[in-house]
């Protein structure tokens, strides 16, 4: 009897102490997690963009060798090393916390000399500008350089707590400021603009609505500020209307004058041409019967 009386309170105390200890452990873990966001696991985080491109490694290494075969002057690039630098830049990291700095080793491995007077920048003319550089080979866009060629159109991001790439989803272009894709293209665009010299041309879309170049465009936020005014003699803007489209902007419209001011603020010399004839000739090759393609009409 006395054993029962005596033993019951002993068991209850033990349980109580165990429960108190458990509560304490849970509290400590919660406090540690709250103050160390990097330790918070969120394995099922969903992003709005497509996942990493399937066969990314093979595509990157294949394109790398392909570029070297097309342009032997680029030198001997370490294709599998470049792939590894990409993996190291993003794996085990939050895909919304990747900076241009994370790609600095990759940038060093991809370094390339850009001949003076060949750089062609663009905004809102993705399709036309690349049809033009394919047709003439007189100018080089970012996508014609080693880095741009190898990574163009691909998607990738890592997983915050695990090695390897996330093939399910990645942040979309504007989903977060420092996502793996946007930071890569900012790094690549800055490297291209920094390496440019002599006369730099820019192809813009005279038929597009709104600003001729978006305020947050890479042209405005990265490339214009990064060009070196001591090496770039002028920035020559080509305003090209769609051959079938409206003439919404030309060299003397407000949007262009504002862009001129912005370029000159960066100590770069500015000039502008409406419907630069060699580009219009390409448009006319595809629309030979359009009125603007009458030899007496086009500038």
CA proximity to 155, closest of 144, 142, 165: 165
List all residues 6 or more positions away from 292 whose beta carbon is below 8 Å from its beta carbon.
243, 280, 283, 284, 298
Instruction: Answer whether 219's CB lies under 8 Å from 213's CB.
Output: yes
Q: Of 157, 197, 272, 284, which is the active-site residue?
A: 197
Among 7, 30, 78, 174, binds ligand APR (CB under 6 A): 174
Q: Catalytic site residue 116?
A: yes
Instruction: Answer whether 236's CB lies under 8 Å from 202's CB.
Output: yes
- Tell me if 42 contacts ligand APR by CB under 6 A: no
- Helix ranges, 36-156 (H): 56-70, 79-90, 104-109, 126-136, 146-151
Size of site (CB under 6 A) for ligand APR:
18
**Subset of 81-120 contacting ligand APR (CB under 6 A):** none
Binding mask 131-170 for ligand APR (x = CB under 6 A): ----------xx----------------------------
Instruction: Answer whether 280's CB lies under 8 Å from 298's CB.
Output: yes
Among 152, 199, 207, 217, binds ligand APR (CB under 6 A): 217
Q: Of 208 and 284, which CB lies nearer to ligand APR in the complex structure?
A: 208
Q: Least distance to ligand APR from the beta carbon of 157, Å?
A: 15
- Tell me if 208 contacts ligand APR by CB under 6 A: no
Among 85, 124, 156, 237, binds ligand APR (CB under 6 A): 124
Instruction: Answer whether 111's CB lies under 8 Å from 75's CB.
Output: no
Instruction: Answer whether 150's CB lies under 8 Å from 60's CB.
Output: yes
CA separation for the pair 248, 124 (Å, rounded): 14
- Tell me if 173 contacts ligand APR by CB under 6 A: yes
Distance of CA 152 to the CA centre of its chain: 9
Q: Catalytic site residue 296?
A: no
Instruction: Answer whether 223's CB lies under 8 Å from 206's CB.
Output: no
Tell me the window of 86-94, 213-221, 254-262, 272-280 that interacts with ligand APR (CB under 6 A). 213-221
Q: Of 154 and 292, which CB lies nearer to ligand APR in the complex structure?
A: 154
Would you put residue 117 in left (φ > 0), alpha (ψ -120 to 50) or beta?
left
Among 214, 248, 266, 290, binds ligand APR (CB under 6 A): 214
Residue 24's SS3 state is: helix
Q: Least distance to ligand APR from the beta carbon of 142, Å?
A: 4
Q: Of 133 and 141, which CB lies nearer to ligand APR in the complex structure?
A: 141
Active site residues: 116, 197
| Binding-site ranges for ligand APR (CB under 6 A) | 121-124, 126, 141-142, 173-174, 185, 189, 192, 213-214, 217-219, 223
């Amino acid at each position: 009897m006395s054993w029962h009386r005596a033993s019951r309170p002993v068991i209850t105390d033990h349980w109580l102490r165990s429960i108190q200890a458990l509560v304490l452990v849970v509290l400590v873990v919660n406090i540690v997690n709250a103050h160390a966001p990097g330790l918070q696991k969120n394995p099922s985080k969903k992003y709005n963009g497509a996942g990493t491109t399937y066969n990314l490694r093979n595509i990157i290494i294949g394109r790398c060798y392909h570029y070297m075969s097309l342009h032997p002057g680029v030198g001997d690039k370490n294709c599998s090393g470049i792939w590894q630098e990409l993996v190291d830049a993003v794996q085990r990291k939050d895909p919304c916390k990747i900076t241009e700095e994370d790609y600095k080793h990759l940038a060093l491995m991809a370094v390339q000399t850009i001949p003076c007077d060949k750089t062609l920048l663009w905004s809102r003319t993705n399709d036309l500008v690349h049809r033009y550089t394919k047709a003439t080979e007189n100018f080089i866009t970012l996508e014609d350089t080693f880095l741009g060629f190898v990574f163009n159109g691909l998607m990738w991001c890592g997983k915050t707590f695990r090695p390897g790439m996330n093939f399910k989803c990645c942040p979309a272009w504007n989903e977060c400021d420092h996502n793996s894709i946007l930071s890569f293209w900012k790094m690549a665009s800055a490297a291209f603009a920094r390496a440019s010299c002599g006369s730099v041309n820019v192809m813009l879309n005279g038929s597009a609505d709104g600003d001729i170049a978006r305020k947050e465009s890479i042209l405005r936020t990265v490339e214009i500020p990064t060009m070196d005014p001591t090496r770039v003699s002028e920035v020559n803007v080509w305003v090209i209307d769609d051959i079938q489209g409206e003439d919404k902007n030309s060299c003397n419209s407000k949007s262009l004058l504002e862009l001129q001011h912005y370029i000159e603020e960066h100590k770069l010399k500015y000039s502008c041409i409406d419907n630069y004839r060699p580009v219009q000739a390409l448009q006319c090759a595809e629309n030979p019967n359009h009125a603007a393609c009458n030899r007496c009409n086009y500038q």
